[in-house]
Every structure is written in structure tokens, then in C-alpha cells.
Amino acid sequence: MKPDVAIDDLSRMFNASIRGWINYYGHFCKLQLYPVLRHMNEALIHWARRKYKKLERHKTRATNWMERLAKNLPKLFAHWQMGILPTTG
């Protein structure tokens, strides 16, 4: 993920794939779905750390920022709608 792309552009780029994963793996092997979606959250946090200098050296701060974003805009990503939000713990 490139840091020059906005979060809503990332949402448009990846939501179709995320929905496909949810539809397929959600029916056949749901336990394998959760690690993939958590990895997507980690990738989004990594993207935020590369995009914003104030988050660059602070993983916890970046995770808290992404968690607040997920709570304020839960429909931005398909897996956030399922309740798989980025968490600090």
C-alpha cells in the first residue's frame, strides 16, 4: 500500500477483495478468515505509519488512531462491519 493514497481510496481498492474473502472463507473455513482480516488491519496500521509522520515511530499511537477511525467510520472496510477492528491488545 502506497502512502500517497487516501484511506477512502484504499477502501475502494480493497473492499471487493475483502468481501470476496468473507463470502468464501466465511462459508467454508471461518477460522482461517480471522487471521487474514487481522493481517489486513496490521497492513492498514503500517500504511498509516508510513503516511503520517506523527505516527511513524509509534505503533501503539497508530493502532489507537486506526481504532478510533474504525469506530467512527465502521462501514469504511467490509471486515470492520463484521466487528474485526484494529485493537492495541
The tens digit of pLDDT for each residue in 53-76 reads 999 999 999 999 999 999 999 999
Digit-by-digit pLDDT tens for the chain (89 residues) are 677 899 999 999 999 999 999 999 888 888 889 999 999 999 999 999 999 999 999 999 999 999 999 999 999 999 999 999 998 76
Give the whole-angstrom CA distance, residue 58 versus residue 66.
Answer: 12
Residues 6/73/68/78 CA torsion (nearest 10 deg) = -80
By three-state DSSP, how is residue 56 classified? coil
Q: What is the pTM of this model?
A: 0.91
Buried b / exposed e over 6-43, threshold 16 CB at 10 Å, is eeeebbeebbeebeebbeebeeeeeeebeeebeebbee
